[in-house]
């Protein structure tokens, strides 16, 4: 079962996203979520975004330290998938 979230934009329009993963950091004491709508950037790569929960509200990740933490988690997950499915 895929987890989905709905986010309102600045025009109060709702958009649905698929959750890629969530995790909690002991270091920052925050719960993060990374999600996608499967749109692609100018290089053809799938766009994904990360936010953190402040209560029930999602807030943008703004610090370099948090972005690095999320990037490391993405790399770890990617490596696990590659290893599990023997992808080079």
**pLDDT tens, 16-56?**
999 999 999 999 999 999 999 999 999 999 999 999 999 98
d(CA 10, CA 14): 10
Do strands 49-54 and 14-25 pair parallel, antiparallel, or not at all (unpaired)? unpaired
- Residue 88, pLDDT score: 63
Phi, psi of 86 (to 5 degrees): 50, 50
Burial class for 39, CB neighbours closer than 10 Å (0-12, 13-18, 19+)? exposed
Q: What is the pLDDT of residue 34?
A: 93
pLDDT at 2: 73
Q: What is the pTM of this model?
A: 0.82
């Amino acid at each position: 079962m895929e987890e989905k979230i709905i986010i309102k934009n600045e025009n109060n329009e709702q958009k649905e996203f698929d959750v890629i993963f969530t995790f909690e950091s002991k270091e920052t004491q925050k719960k993060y979520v990374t999600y996608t709508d499967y749109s692609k950037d100018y290089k053809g790569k799938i766009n994904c975004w990360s936010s953190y929960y402040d209560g029930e509200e999602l807030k943008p990740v703004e610090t370099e330290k948090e972005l690095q933490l999320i990037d490391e988690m993405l790399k770890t997950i990617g490596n696990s998938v590659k290893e599990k499915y023997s992808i080079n």
